[in-house]
């Protein structure tokens, strides 16, 4: 059975299969957050459109080129890993950093005397003072005092307003009771409305 490449490259089913594989490759690169591979795929696919208008050819070129890129990067990482392991077996270099040496001397002093070193104590005290300065800075204390004062003044104003409103509320409640409560108020409003209706013709006659 002979395969005709021209017919395969024009077959819609082949295009669907290749498109599905390309989409799965892109999703895989996105899942592992390999944005370089995604960008490379898009660039190669875009450039391939200048050489061929067949989408099957374009997608195949983009997939093959992107897979070759990822394989070469993986191979380089493996080589670097083997080189790093070989360097570890040869031995580590001596540390000459003054900060590291001072820290090691402090540890030796603590191991020998059973007491913390002088540098450790001084650093701890200095750090404590720095933290206190940050917490108890003048600006923060003033801001806290201002907020407290504002809250206290707001509470005092609220109490004063309640005291002034309490008698008025009591008087209004007493007036409602004398009228007959809410029902009496409705009757009074109805009476006022009927009176206005009676005076309406007179007002119209004057006009």
CB-based burial, 127-161: b 16+ in 10 Å, e otherwise:
eeeeeeeeeeeeeeeeeeeeeeeeeeeeeeeeeee
What is the rounded distance in angstroms from the CA atom of residue 178 to the CA atom of residue 160? Answer: 28
**How confident is the model over 16-34, as pLDDT tens digits?**
999 999 999 889 989 988 8
Q: How confident is the model at residue 7 (pLDDT cuts 50, 70, 90)?
A: confident
**pLDDT for 207:** 46
**How confident is the model over 62-112, as pLDDT tens digits?**
899 999 988 888 888 888 877 776 666 555 544 455 555 555 555 555 555
Helices (H) and strands (E) in the chain, counts: 8, 0
When pLDDT is averaged across residues 34-60 and rounded to a whole number, the result is 89
What is the rounded distance in angstroms from the CA atom of residue 175 to the CA atom of residue 154? Answer: 32
More confident residue, 52 or 186: 52
Q: Over the chain, what is the mean pLDDT?
A: 72
User: Is residue 93 classed exposed, middle or buried when 0-12, 13-18 and 19+ CB atoms within 10 A define those classes?
Assistant: exposed
Overall size of the chain counted in residues: 207
Tokens found for residue 170:
């009591």
**How confident is the model over 175-184, as pLDDT tens digits?**
656 666 556 6
How open is the CA angle 55-56-60, to the nearest 5 degrees? 115
Q: How confident is the model at residue 1 (pLDDT cuts 50, 70, 90)?
A: very low
């Amino acid at each position: 059975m002979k395969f005709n490449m021209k017919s395969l490259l024009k077959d819609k089913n082949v295009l669907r299969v290749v498109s599905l594989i390309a989409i799965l490759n892109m999703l895989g690169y996105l899942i592992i957050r390999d944005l370089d591979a995604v960008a490379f795929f898009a660039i190669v696919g875009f450039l391939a459109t200048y050489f061929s208008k067949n989408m099957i050819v374009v997608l195949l070129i983009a997939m093959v080129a992107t897979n070759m890129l990822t394989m070469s990067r993986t191979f380089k990482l493996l080589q670097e890993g083997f080189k790093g392991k070989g360097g570890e077996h040869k031995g580590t270099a001596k540390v000459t950093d003054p900060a590291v040496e001072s820290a090691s001397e402090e540890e030796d002093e603590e191991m020998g005397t059973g007491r913390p070193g002088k540098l450790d104590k001084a650093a701890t005290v200095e750090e404590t003072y720095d933290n206190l300065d940050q917490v108890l800075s003048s600006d923060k204390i003033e801001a806290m005092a201002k907020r407290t004062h504002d809250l206290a003044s707001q509470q005092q104003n609220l109490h004063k307003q309640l005291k002034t409103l309490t008698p008025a509320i009591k008087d209004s409640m007493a007036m409602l009771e004398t009228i007959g409560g809410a029902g009496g108020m409705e009757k009074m409003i109805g009476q006022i409305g009927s009176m206005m209706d009676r005076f309406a013709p007179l007002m119209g006659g004057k006009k």
